Structure formats: structure tokens, C-alpha cells
Structure 1
């Protein structure tokens, strides 16, 4: 379901962040270093070892030797936009008879109305429930039961407000009976079964603060089937099994947030770090909001944000771009153009003093620090990604060497930028798990010492080049696939306005200097810009 960097990085620490504000349908988290996605493109043509060798800092010809391959890739990418505003990006790659598809909706948790948190994530669940033709044995009869369920739910809400226990009991019995009647028409997981039968793999989706994406892969001869299935589910979705799915989502929230110490800390931490911007809210939603959501709420959200001009579809693999365009016009041209959804209009005011939040749970103590940083589109954003890598990339990182190995005040220590998203100004987060017998205060001093070093000591050129090379190699290990490429193309196009911006990122990375690191660190890592989270043991 939802996807975030927080989920990825805390999961690396013995899956301690399965509790974060992130829940996933399955393996659909995309671990990406955004400013380095350019290198991924080269992996379509080179093997891993040769590219890493070219990325080595001692090879002064590396950048120029990569360029012909980058140019070749750009020549294999085409794009077109339908009259209704729906944009397609097509990467033609005939290495294998497989096609990967990503439908990227430029809508996430930040776009939800107040009091309706969790609706974007809820809609993602329901997008797998089928259409008027898929997932039902008799839609006309089913629709009557679904509408009756909605009326009963509204009546129940009113009865609960009034406290009329007799009426609540009567309506509850009727609601259960009607839900049972509606379920008789449901063909469970028919959409997924169609995909599986046709050889599809990786059917999945992810919701984040910034976006929602739906993705899977098909054999190359199933292009038209994908066009039919994907257009139908966003042209005529039926949000069936709404109320049972609500219970599934509420259980996800209980497991990953309410009953999880670090999950609860993250929710409180974001609520403290932000005062206005909706990044402060959990993507999975608040419990009370989820409980009160109706099918009508989801329908209105869908109609507002799943407009064709708010969708981007990326297709990568063994395809003919002309055939893609013809089929897209046939199937997706049916969508009606709509007004562009409004963007988030609640900017976060500058932070002027340290903010702190402390929670107590039966847990090993954690310490967190967050600092406000610019959005992905800002020229300095790549510098923040390099700082994150410098602090937390494995056993050679500064936090690991200092806090875990030398001072032995932490069992693990990490950091990353773009939390909980990067479409808007967000946070760079650093955090550590205390070692036995270590106080939170001692850990805080040690962690901040490493942060302050970035401000006072210029990084050595050799260390900076090592970090850059690590980033390139790490990206290749995680995103060397058509699916990864399709996801990146769609995301970059939606967030920056042009997928071509991917091909500018390598240059930005290579030009970062020790002076840039020190300059950005001094701007960012200030007392006024700091939010502190302490998760203390209640044992």
C-alpha cells in the first residue's frame, strides 16, 4: 500500500519501521537515489561492473564515455499526450519480450481534505476491486445492495451521534445482512486473476504523501490487454467491498502505528515538525477519519484527482511506440477532460525554534533529529542526498563508524532526505537506536557531533568521490529494470514537469564540491531549524 523512504530505511534496521506511516501492498517500494537515476539508464546497455568502473573517480574520461549511451537511451524514449491531457512516456527496449507498466497518479496524502485523511490510500486498495464488468456476477443487482449499504452507514453515523442504542443495534443488524447480500455478487480478486492468467507479474500499487502508482508487467503480446484492463479500472471503477476493506486498513494502522512504538513516534514527530503543511499527517490516515470515510468520499476524491490530465503512464519494454499511441487513443481517449486539480496551498512557515516530542513505550530508546530542507526541484536538493549518503551509507558511513563502532553508543544509525516526501519542502532526518546502557542524551551528543562536523570541517575530496561512486553503484543494484525505469520516468515528469530532467542529474552530482556540502550544512543544521524526537523506554 503506501510507500515511503522511511519504510525502506527503517526496515533495513531489522524491520523496525514496518510500523512507520508506511504500509505496502507487497514488494512495491522503490528504493531510489533520485539525482542518480540517470545512471540507471545506462544499465540497459552495460553490465554492472563496467559501469561502476566508469564511475570511479580516478577515471577522468568516465562522464564523457557514458554520454553516448545516455544519448542513445533518450532516443529510445518517446512521449505523447492525448487530447484529454493524459500523458504517455514510452521507453522502447527489445532486450526481452516483456513490458512494464506504471500508472502514476499525481495525488497522495498531502492532497486529502481535512478530516478525510487516508482517502488516497483507501482508494488505492479499492482500485483492485474491479469494475462494472470485472469482479461481479450481476452489477445491476449488486449496485442496489451497495447503495443500500451506503444509506445504512449514513444512518448509523447519525444514530451513533445521538446515542440511540436501540436504533444503532437495529441498523447494525440490517447493515450486516445487506453486506452479506452484496458479497454474494462479488467475484473475489477477478482483476488479479485475469492478470495472472495472462502471464502478468508484480501486480501492485503504492501510496505515498506525494503520489499513488499502480504497476505490473506483462508479456510483450499482452499490450492491448493491459490497455483494456487499466483503462477500464480507472474509467468505471466500482468501490465494492468498501466496508470490509475499511477494517483491513484499520488493522494496518493498529499494527504499524498504534501498537508500534516507532510508528507512533514517527506520527508524533511529523505532527511536531510541521505546523501547517499536510506532510504533518500520516498517509494511512487518522483512525477517526478512516472510520468515518464513506464510499461517496472516495468517489469525490477519485473524480477530483484521477482526471486524465493528472495521470502519467510510463511503459517500458518490448513495444512499438506507434502501436502504443494507437491503442492509447482507442482505450484511454474515452476519458473525459477535467479541470486541473488544485495544488497544496498550505506552505509551511519557517521554523524559528527547536521543537521536541518525547514518548514512552516498552521499547529500546530511539533518538531522532529532523531539519527542514527544500523540495526536489531546488538546485541544492542533490547536495542533501549526498549528505544523507555521507552520513548513513553502510559501514563506511560517518554515523556508523562514529556512533556504532568507535563510541558504541548506538546499535544502528541512519539518515535520509525527502521525508516524508519531496514534491514540497520536507525534512532531512537522522536517527539512531541506542545501545544497551547508553542514555539518549549521550547518543544525542554523539550524533550532533557528526552533524556539526559537516559545518566546520570540509569533506576530503576522496571521501566525497567515494560517496558519489557508492550512490551510482547502489542505484544500479536496485533499479536496473524496465519497471524501475518506468517508475522514475513517470515520477520525474510529474514532479519536475519533464522526464528529461533525469538526464541532468549526473552533471549535478559530479559538480558538487566540499564547499557545497559545508555551505548547505551551515544553512540547514541550525538550532532554530531542528526538531527532536525521543522514544524512551517505559520498562
Structure 2
């Protein structure tokens, strides 16, 4: 099995956002021809420029002229770790909704649709506050009826159609513990149009088609419940982080929270974290530095910054003895062995990352040579994960019969 590689630019975002002291010690401040200041970094073979707009938005630009395309990422320092304890899964669900458009994208009649969406939001608040099962069913029936009416005014998938018409590839997004990242790969000559669409998309949240998208997210949750490996992974996290959100809540969220969502809570989360000084625009490809930063500034420079405070969590107690957990299911037996480490930017990260590649690199690691190639097991490997507060090193294997 091949090891997991994080996309290069997403990894850069993690590194630069989490290792501020190290970054400042190695960076050089310069100014381009149009007066925009930027940082470059010693020993960086990519020649990346890091700009910071007046509103705090980070802009990472890197040139690669191998093809006439630009890999784009818009990253928000907001993930499932910051979900309210009574609304887990919120960051991931918000990720889905950012694709649903705005008051200008995805609607046939915004004035009429907005009235219906406000009504749906109020009904969801009533639904969440109600404990009587029969009353909840009745409220949900009303939600269903109003949602059907609101859907008459929406244009399904208009955002996807718009970026597809630009020639975008790989349109997607992902939510992890501390970030949500939106991805496109566009032709370099469509940068202006892409910026126009994205600046509109991240300027306003409209929870359109909330009802049907919720069903899609819940089906994703159900698939996870049917996966022995997913349940095994969650058990590992619970053991490593018994009091931290890394282990107490998952990105997909808890069933009771998905069944009782709050549209108001999602808006509050968006208003708190989806602000320029908590975001980064990352562009790598066939671009010119000076003209590109001007265009990004025109598209996103008007966003208003606001103070952002991320929650902090009590320090986990040291693990002084093995913690064992068992997960039962229909698939064949396997074992996970995980070790908790310090997080991104730590000495642990460098050392454990190196150890991991000595153990397993898909070809000549110790696990590859001594277990997989000698066919002593069905499968075995290892991988690392590092977040801001903690990381882990996980080794896994599937034994042969007996």
C-alpha cells in the first residue's frame, strides 16, 4: 500500500501557519514593482512568495511553467477541532454548503428564496430545541415542505457548472482537524474569472438545499459506521486523546448532532472563522508574480478582517502504560499500534517522520522488506499525522490466517 502524501501546497500552508517563529527567522522581506511586500525563504527551491494583504489574508504564490495551469487552494484555519461540542460535524457540513452559492450564484429569485430559507432556519431551531418525538416529526415534515418550495428557486450545482466552464479540474474540498481547504486546478488564462467567482463565493454564505445535502452527509456518516477500519481508527484516536477534541469528536460528527442541526450555528461558525486574516489563497503554476498578486488583492482585498480567537484545550496527561481497545466487525483481523507525539513544528515531527520512512516507504522500508516482500503478512505499513497540538505515529498490519 502506498503511503499517504499530503498535497504540496496544503502542506506548505500547514508548515508556514504553524511554525511562525522558525519561518520569521529564515524569511527575507522584499517589495515587488507595484509596492506589494512579500517574504521569501532560505533554502526554498520553489521560489515561493508569501504576501500578506492589508486585511491579513495570506497569499502564497509559486511558479511552475510545466503546463499552462494553476493549482489553486483556498484554505481556512477552521476544522472539526473547533466544532462546538453540541454541534459536532459543523465544519465539515459547512464545507459542503460553501458549494451551494450565494445571493448571486445559484438562485433564480433571491428575494423569494431568502424568505423561505429564513423560515427553514427557524424551523430547524425549533426542531433542535424540541424533545418530544412526535413534535419533532411534525416540525421535520414542515421543514420538508418548505424545503421543497425553496428548491424551486435554486439552481442546483451552479457553482460547479461555472468553474467547469472555465476548464477547472479536480474541484473539491476537504476538512481536517484544523483546516478546511477548497481545491481547483484551472487554466492559467482563466485566473481572472476564477478569482471573480471565488471572491463572490467566500464573501457570503447561503445555506441553500440544506435539507437534501444533510441527507448526503448523514449517508457519509453511515458508511463510516459500516467500516471496521474507520471504527478502529476512531478507537485509536480515543486512546491517544481522551480529553482533546482530536479524540472526543470526529470530523463527520455525532449522529445526534447531524440529526438535529442548527443553521444558525453554522452561520455563526462561518462569521467567526471565514474572515481574511484567518484564510490563505494558495496558487502554484503558470503565473506571473506581480500581476497575480494585484488580481488577488482586487478580488479579496476588500474583505473586512476581524479578531479571531481559536479555542485552546487542556494538555493531555502522559500515557504511562499501554491503552488497549478492541473493535469487532465482519472484516478480517488487523492491528493498529499508535504513539502520541508533539505537533506540527516540533522536534518530534522531524524525528518521527524520518523513522516512519525508514520503516515504510512502499519499496525499501524495514516493514516493506521484512514483512510485505517476504509475505509474512497480508499487508503492513505505517504513517504519521501531525496537527497543531499533537501528532501520532501509527503502524498497522493484517496477519495471515492463524
**What TM-score range do you get, normalising by the shorter chain?**
0.7 to 0.9
User: For 1:165-180, what aligned pairs fall within 5 Å after superposition?
Assistant: 165=134, 167-180=135-148
Aligned equivalents of 2:294, 2:126: Cα separation in 1: 48
- When residues 231 and 109 of structure 1 are mapped into structure 2, their CA distance, relative to the original with a 3 A threshold, is same
User: For 1:380-419, what aligned pairs fall within 5 Å after superposition?
Assistant: 380-404=348-372, 406=374, 408=376, 410-418=377-385
Q: Quick check: 1:101–1:316 contact (8 Å CA) kept in 2?
A: yes
Report the counterpart of residue 368 of structure 1 in structure 2: 336
- Candidates 108, 113, 129, aligned match of 2:79: 108
User: For 1:149-164, what aligned pairs fall within 5 Å after superposition?
Assistant: 149-159=120-130, 161-163=131-133
Is 1:251 aligned to residue 219 of structure 2?
A: yes
User: For 1:82-97, what aligned pairs fall within 5 Å after superposition?
Assistant: 82-97=53-68
User: For 1:43-82, what aligned pairs fall within 5 Å after superposition?
Assistant: 73-74=46-47, 77-82=48-53
Tell me how large the CA RMSD over aligned residues is: 2.6
Higher share of residues assigned helix: 1
Aligned equivalents of 2:11, 2:275: Cα separation in 1: 26
Aligned equivalents of 2:381, 2:201: Cα separation in 1: 40
Shift of 1:258: 0.9
Report the counterpart of residue 430 of structure 1 in structure 2: 395
Report the counterpart of residue 346 of structure 1 in structure 2: 314
1:163-182 deviation per Cα after TM superposition (whole angstroms, max 9, x unaligned)? 4x2x4454333222111001
Unpaired stretches in structure 2, ≥5 consecutive residues: 16-41
Shift of 1:85: 0.6
Shift of 1:397: 2.5
Report the counterpart of residue 202 of structure 2 in structure 1: 234
Aligned equivalents of 2:101, 2:11: Cα separation in 1: 33
Q: Quick check: 2:69–2:286 contact (8 Å CA) kept in 1?
A: yes
Aligned equivalents of 2:123, 2:236: Cα separation in 1: 38
User: For 1:301-320, what aligned pairs fall within 5 Å after superposition?
Assistant: 301-320=269-288
Aligned equivalents of 2:10, 2:196: Cα separation in 1: 33
Report the counterpart of residue 284 of structure 1 in structure 2: 252
Shift of 1:130: 0.6
- Candidates 203, 224, 240, aligned match of 1:273: 240
1:484-539 deviation per Cα after TM superposition (whole angstroms, max 9, x unaligned)? xxxxxxxxxxxxxxxxxxxxxxxxxxxxxxxxxxxxxxxxxxxxxxxxxxxxxxxx
Aligned residues: 374
- When residues 91 and 146 of structure 1 are mapped into structure 2, their CA distance, relative to the original with a 3 A threshold, is same
Q: Quick check: 1:8–1:29 contact (8 Å CA) kept in 2?
A: no
- Candidates 336, 347, 350, aligned match of 2:304: 336
Unpaired stretches in structure 1, ≥5 consecutive residues: 1-6, 13-27, 39-68, 438-539
* Bigger Cα displacement from structure 2, 87-96 vs 188-197: 87-96
1:85-136 deviation per Cα after TM superposition (whole angstroms, max 9, x unaligned)? 1111211334432222111111212122212221111111111111110011
Aligned equivalents of 2:52, 2:328: Cα separation in 1: 52
